[in-house]
């Protein structure tokens, strides 16, 4: 296998899939040959670029794609666009097909995990593994997602006006200056209509009904802090998806790789087919 480059970033690209323009970042190289690809689907207000540091690490081991979910980053947005969970899940499957990914794993964080579940219930031919990273377990008749909508709406409004890393501190007090600066730079690309519809769908979409239809191995990675996925939720998911593996990352809140980056990578073990190469 060839030498791993210092940076694994290859390029950013666009593909027309499921009727829209989908933007993505690709990491990897010749050293990833022979392994299944990995498609990373970020959360509700996380453009692909904000997961770039994760892509750099994943790219040391896997051919890695990070998506801009519709209405975020450089992917298509607009008043007439459907921002439902069904549409987002269809995007992911169409993306993999358009790029000719014959074998791939999905890694979805937060909302991205729910997208992964909805996509996986259709049992797509190329999907080999599914990783759910602290997915909201809210839904009809269930406790609400712990975060509040104004946190997203207010921060996006400031970002559209123009904000810096210091201003972002009010919303992300534990993040580094570089992390806050990147979020301040890109948050304005999140379409408020997309965020509001996705947030409201946390309460109305029933992903638990989808879980028994998953037929690929599932890894659930949860945060020790933040109360998004409790022990009882882990037990319920494990009961709905036979063979579910679980790893709770210590000293981490919902934005796990921001809080405990090495703990996040360690949680994958060899689930994706090989352990992630260390920094």
pTM higher than 0.85, yes or no?
yes
CATH H superfamily, domain 9-150+205-268: Alpha/Beta hydrolase fold, catalytic domain (3.40.50.1820)
pLDDT tens-digit map of 16-30: 999 999 999 999 999
Cα 135 from Cα 137, distance rounded (Å): 6
Q: How much is the pLDDT for 62? A: 98
Whether residue 250 is predicted with pLDDT greater than 80 in this model: the reply is yes
Q: How much is the pLDDT for 23? A: 98
pLDDT tens-digit map of 121-177: 999 999 999 999 999 999 999 999 999 999 999 999 999 999 999 999 999 999 999
Cα 15 from Cα 82, distance rounded (Å): 18
| 8 A C-beta contact, residue 265 and residue 273 | no
Overall average pLDDT of the 209-213 stretch: 98
Q: Tell the residue number behind the tokens 């123009």, with chain if given.
A: 162
Overall average pLDDT of the 34-44 stretch: 97
pLDDT tens-digit map of 67-97: 999 999 999 999 999 999 999 999 999 999 9
Residues ≥6 apart with Cβ < 8 Å to 142? none
Cα 199 from Cα 47, distance rounded (Å): 16
Whether residue 2 is predicted with pLDDT greater than 80 in this model: the reply is no
Cα 237 from Cα 207, distance rounded (Å): 10
The domain locations on the chain are 9-150+205-268
Residue 46 buriedness (CB in 10 A; 0-12 / 13-18 / 19+): buried
Q: How much is the pLDDT for 142? A: 97
Cα 218 from Cα 143, distance rounded (Å): 23
């Amino acid at each position: 296998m060839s030498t791993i480059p210092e940076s694994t970033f290859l390029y950013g690209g666009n593909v027309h899939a499921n009727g829209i323009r989908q933007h993505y970042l690709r990491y990897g190289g010749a050293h990833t040959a022979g392994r299944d690809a990995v498609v990373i689907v970020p959360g509700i207000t996380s453009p692909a670029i904000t997961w770039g540091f994760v892509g750099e690490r994943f790219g040391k081991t896997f051919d890695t794609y990070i998506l801009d979910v519709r209405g975020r980053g450089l992917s298509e947005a607009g008043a007439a666009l459907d921002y439902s969970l069904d549409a987002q899940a269809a995007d992911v499957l169409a993306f993999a097909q358009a790029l000719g990914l014959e074998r791939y794993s999905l890694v979805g964080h937060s909302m991205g995990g729910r997208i992964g579940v909805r996509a996986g219930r259709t049992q797509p031919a190329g999907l080999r593994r599914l990783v759910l990273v602290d997915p909201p377990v809210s839904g009809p008749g269930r406790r609400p997602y712990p975060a509040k909508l104004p946190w997203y709406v207010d921060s996006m409004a400031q970002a559209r006006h123009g904000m810096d890393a210091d201003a972002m501190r009010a919303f992300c007090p534990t993040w580094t200056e570089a992390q806050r600066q990147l979020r301040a730079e890109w948050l304005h690309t999140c379409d408020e209509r997309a965020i509001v519809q996705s947030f409201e769908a946390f309460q109305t979409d029933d992903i638990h009904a989808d879980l028994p239809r998953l037929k690929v191995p599932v890894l659930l990675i949860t945060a020790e802090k933040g109360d998004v996925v409790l022990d009882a939720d882990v037990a319920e998911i494990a009961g709905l998806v036979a063979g579910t593996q679980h790893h709770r990352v210590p000293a981490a809140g919902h934005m796990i790789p921001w809080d405990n980056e090495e703990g996040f990578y360690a949680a994958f073990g060899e689930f994706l087919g090989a352990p992630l190469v260390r920094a």
